[in-house]
């Protein structure tokens, strides 16, 4: 059966106390919304509809950045979860597959759980994702009748007996799309919150003799984010799970609790990650590399055999081929570093290509920005860039060329040439001794005078 995702993301998130819409706060370097969209995307949905409200323009931008085919519809007034889902109706006109409702503020629902719901829908009209809550608090309670789900009662409307139920509603619901919208049409707002509750569709379906059932998952999957404290808890939960998965996949984390991963971090087997390393979004690290302590990586690729850090910074567009070495206090941005090249100390390489086995001396800087535009530096294979060379881009250094230490290179250097641009050295015999004598005499005179 085809799937359509309906992701609810209109809420303000008052308790975040933020100008940013709640679903755009980040866990593991990705907006909460993206986590929910990514979980749903594993079902290869035909439609993805995001219901936005507060900060709709920003939510739209984030949704389409992740999935350019996502449709974003607006719910201008937040009248309840059923009303929110109803906004997706025009976008799903004529669609007759499964509609799956997810919350944009609930990032950890696993794709396998959603698959189970999809399977259950083959035999039922409505499938709700439930969980046994350690503390049921204010969750909606699932009222069962044997194996069948009879209705969901919201905490505010529940009797003491119903509040004693520990099987709770996660909010995730699967239903045949047309039936979902038919049921929603019948939902009213005569309840404690005066909201249109999506949860009311269960009782309505039951009354029509339709079957509803529950698929259960671990409580950890249903964790929602409503406050900054929840956000921190979600981050911690994500990180501990992601670290454990990496170690299972054969990656050594010397001090796992000090390594921070992004939602999409990929690290190959037999790579060693030393303590205090941060991975931002969009990083791939191949097998058999070493990421040394205190390095920061984002938007980059490290190939097999690479050694990065300690204290290295790889920024977006840094692409390291096999056996590249990037040492301490080196920043690489939008640059391709070919096989076996070394940039070991105190350098900035930005908007550049560096040829295979070239050696970039300490303190080398690609001067890529003229204050208005960015320019490219090309360094050939087997080049030797002397320490403290300033490469004023645009500039090309040929294969096997050399630059003298301290040079400011403003024009291209032919292959195998040596380029020097620095004041010639002058030497004055005995002058240092004379200078010392003069200076010492001056100091003695000053001390007598005071």
Residues that bind ligand UD1 (CB under 6 A): 8-11, 51, 53, 75, 78-81, 83-84, 103-105, 139-140, 152, 154, 168-171, 197-199, 224
| Residue with smaller CB distance to ligand UD1, 8 or 259 | 8
Look at phi and psi of residue 137 and say left if phi exceeds 0, alpha if psi is from -120 to 50, else beta.
left
| Residue with smaller CB distance to ligand UD1, 128 or 409 | 128
Q: How far is the CB of 319 from ligand UD1 (least distance, A)?
A: 38
CA distance 22 to 59: 10
CA distance 96 to 50: 18
Phi, psi of 336 (to 5 degrees): -100, 120
| Residue with smaller CB distance to ligand UD1, 220 or 245 | 220
345 is an active site residue: yes
CA distance 335 to 320: 8
| Residue with smaller CB distance to ligand UD1, 165 or 367 | 165
| Residue with smaller CB distance to ligand UD1, 207 or 441 | 207
Which is catalytic among the residues 296, 345, 375, 376? 345
Integer angstrom CA distances of residue 287 from 284, 291, 323: 10, 11, 11
Q: How far is the CB of 67 from ligand UD1 (least distance, A)?
A: 18
Residue 428 has which token pair? 């004055």
Cβ atoms of 308 and 318 closer than 8 Å: no
Q: How far is the CB of 113 from ligand UD1 (least distance, A)?
A: 15
Q: How far is the CB of 190 from ligand UD1 (least distance, A)?
A: 13
What sign does the dihedral 124-129-135-136 (CA atoms) show?
negative
Residue 22, C-beta contacts closer than 8 angstroms, at least 6 positions apart: 11, 12, 13, 16, 32, 54, 104, 105, 225, 226
Residue 425, C-beta contacts closer than 8 angstroms, at least 6 positions apart: none
Q: How far is the CB of 356 from ligand UD1 (least distance, A)?
A: 51
- Catalytic positions are 345
């Amino acid at each position: 059966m085809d799937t359509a995702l309906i992701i609810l993301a209109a809420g303000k998130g008052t308790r975040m106390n933020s100008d940013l819409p709640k679903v755009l706060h980040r866990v593991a370097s990705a907006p909460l919304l993206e986590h929910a969209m990514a979980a749903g995307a594993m079902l290869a949905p035909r439609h993805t509809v995001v219901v936005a409200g507060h900060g709709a323009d920003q939510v739209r931008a984030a949704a389409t950045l992740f999935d350019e085919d996502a449709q974003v519809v607006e719910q201008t007034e937040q009248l309840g979860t059923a009303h929110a889902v109803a906004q997706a109706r025009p976008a799903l006109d004529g669609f007759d597959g499964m509609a799956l409702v997810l919350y944009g503020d609930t990032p950890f629902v696993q794709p396998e759980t959603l698959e189970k719901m999809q399977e259950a829908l083959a035999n039922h009209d409505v499938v709700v994702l439930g969980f046994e809550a350690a503390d049921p608090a204010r969750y909606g309670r699932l009222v069962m009748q044997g194996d069948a789900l009879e209705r969901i009662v919201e905490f505010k409307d529940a009797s003491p007996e119903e509040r004693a139920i520990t099987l709770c509603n996660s909010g995730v619901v699967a239903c045949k799309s047309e039936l979902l919208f038919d049921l929603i049409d019948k939902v009213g707002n005569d309840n404690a919150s005066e909201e249109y509750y999506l949860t009311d569709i269960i009782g309505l379906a039951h009354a029509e003799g339709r079957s509803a059932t529950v698929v259960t998952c671990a409580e950890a999957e249903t964790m929602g984010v409503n406050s900054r404290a929840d956000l921190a808890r979600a981050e911690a939960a994500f990180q501990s799970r992601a670290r454990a998965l990496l170690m299972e996949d054969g990656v050594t984390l010397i001090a796992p609790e000090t390594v921070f991963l992004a939602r999409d971090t990929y690290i190959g087997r037999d790579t060693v990650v030393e303590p205090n390393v941060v991975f931002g979004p969009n990083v791939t690290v191949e097998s058999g590399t070493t990421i040394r302590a205190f390095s920061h990586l984002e938007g980059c690729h490290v190939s097999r055999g690479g050694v990065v850090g300690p204290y290295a910074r790889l920024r977006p567009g840094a692409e390291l081929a096999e056996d590249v070495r990037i040492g301490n206090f080196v920043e690489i941005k939008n640059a391709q570093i070919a096989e076996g090249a070394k940039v070991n100390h105190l350098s900035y390489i930005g908007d550049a290509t560096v040829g295979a086995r070239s050696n970039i001396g300490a303190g080398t800087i690609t001067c890529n920005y003229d204050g208005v535009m960015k320019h490219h530096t090309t360094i050939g294979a087997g080049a030797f860039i002397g320490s403290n060379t300033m490469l004023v881009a645009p500039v090309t250094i040929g294969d096997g060329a050399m630059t003298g230490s301290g040079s400011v290179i403003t024009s291209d250097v032919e292959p195998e040439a040596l380029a020097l641009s620095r004041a010639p050295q002058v030497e004055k015999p005995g002058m240092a001794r004379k200078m010392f004598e003069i200076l010492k005499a001056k100091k003695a005179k000053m001390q007598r005078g005071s």
